[in-house]
Amino acid sequence: MIVLGIETSCDETAAAVVTDAREIRADVVLSQLDDHTPYGGVVPEIAARAHLEHLDGLIRRAMDEAGIGFGDLDAVAATGGPGLIGGVIVGVMTAKAIAAARGLPFVAVNHLEGHALTARLTDDVAFPYLLLLVSGGHCQLLAVEGVGRYRRLGTTIDDAVGEAFDKTAKLLGLGYPGGPLVEKAAARATNPARFDLPRPMLGRPGCDFSFSGLKTAVRRHVEELGGVLSDADRDDLAAAFQATVAEVLADRCARAIRRFKEDHPQGGALVVAGGVAANKAIRSRLSTLAEKQRMPFVAPPLRLCTDNAAMIAWAGIERFRLGESDPLNFAPRPRWPLDPTAAPVIGRAGVGAGVKA
């Protein structure tokens, strides 16, 4: 089975060709970083226009790299949400057009499910497993019990962790996107224990997260330094922030592991996915936790942690081989929760509803 995947939910335009033998024949991603950096974040209208301008060319490139024509495809999969609705519409309409013109099945993929199932593409991870999904718009712990079967154990009650990285980077004057820049600054720190930051929710019951107070604490330290930071100030504060996030994530995961094992005594892997999963310090902390809990630890390759179309193609394969596809009147969704039974988060309905910030 060969599936074309399309991803346009945020600020990466991507196309990929993947087979059910877990072979990525092509994986093309065009970043819009230069378009959005002057604004310090993603501008939805600029993102949608860029998707519209570049998507056709990226699909042609992916098909050429895979060495196939449209007649060789078995299905077309595209992100149907959640995300910036203008970009989602571009990808969905393009996929529908290909499907209609070639008589192919169309599969609308939940972007979060793409991240959730990436470990099955890269490592053939068996169900069930515990997933920490961490990105710019999401921070959730989920029991992944099958394709389309996700049970949320915890989520953020305010900022997503990737959002906290971006805001901290802005406070430190590092630029955008925040995650890689904070990680680089932290690696240069000479006194990473210099700043004492709060550990939100650490040791608290449940598996929820909170990062708003941490971001506020970083701002206070910046203000105490007079708002003018030396390189050492910037690097040490970045290191303190990153270490705090890693500690909080590990604490919340430890609690989720206990709940997961109660429901699944046969065990399963601890999987981390999403853009923040590319952070090496966080990976290391979670790997150590998994080892202590005697659980396999799986983190996809760095290039498959950030938004990409290979994960969308694979999620399409997972659904299509179960006999699932979508009609051509499918409506793109700005919100699409993986666990629709989970209670919405008071004060942050977007995260509860699965919105991609």
**pLDDT tens-digit map of 79-126:** 999 999 999 999 999 999 999 999 999 999 999 999 999 999 999 999
In this prediction, residue 351 carries a pLDDT of 33
269 closest CA partner among 280, 261, 279: 261
For 145-170, the pLDDT digits (tens) are 999 999 999 999 999 999 999 999 99
Report residue 138's pLDDT band, with 50, 70 and 90 as the boundaries: confident
User: Do 301 and 263 form a contact (C-beta atoms < 8 A)?
Assistant: no
The domains of the chain are located at: 2-116+304-338, 127-295
For 226-259, the pLDDT digits (tens) are 989 999 999 999 999 999 999 999 999 999 999 9
The pLDDT of residue 350 is above 50 = no
Cα(350)–Cα(234) distance, rounded to whole angstroms? 31
Q: Give me the percent of the chain exceeding a pLDDT of 90.
A: 87
Report residue 349's pLDDT band, with 50, 70 and 90 as the boundaries: very low
Instruction: Mark the binding-site residues, compressed into ranges.
Output: 111, 115, 133-137, 166, 179, 183, 279, 307
SS3 73: coil
Report residue 353's pLDDT band, with 50, 70 and 90 as the boundaries: very low
Architecture of the 2-116+304-338 domain: 2-Layer Sandwich (3.30)
For 28-37, the pLDDT digits (tens) are 999 887 888 8
127-295 has the same fold as 2-116+304-338:
yes
Q: What is the mean pLDDT of the chain?
A: 93
Q: In what order do the strands lie in the sheet with 2-7?
A: 24-31, 12-19, 2-7, 75-81, 106-110
Instruction: Mark the binding-site residues for Fe cation, compressed into ranges.
Output: 111, 115, 307
Which tokens in the block code for residue 350?
A: 């977007």
The pLDDT of residue 347 is above 60 = no
In this prediction, residue 354 carries a pLDDT of 34
The CATH fold assigned to 127-295 is Nucleotidyltransferase; domain 5 (3.30.420)
The pLDDT of residue 39 is above 90 = no
Q: In what order do the strands lie in the sheet with 139-146?
A: 149-155, 139-146, 129-134, 270-273, 297-298
SS3 152: strand
Instruction: Mark the binding-site residues for substrate, compressed into ranges.
Output: 133-137, 166, 179, 183, 279
Cα(185)–Cα(308) distance, rounded to whole angstroms? 26
Q: What residues contact 322, with CB distance under 8 A and at least 6 apart? A: 147
DSSP 70: G
Report residue 40's pLDDT band, with 50, 70 and 90 as the boundaries: confident
Cα(195)–Cα(192) distance, rounded to whole angstroms? 7
Give this prediction's pTM. Answer: 0.93
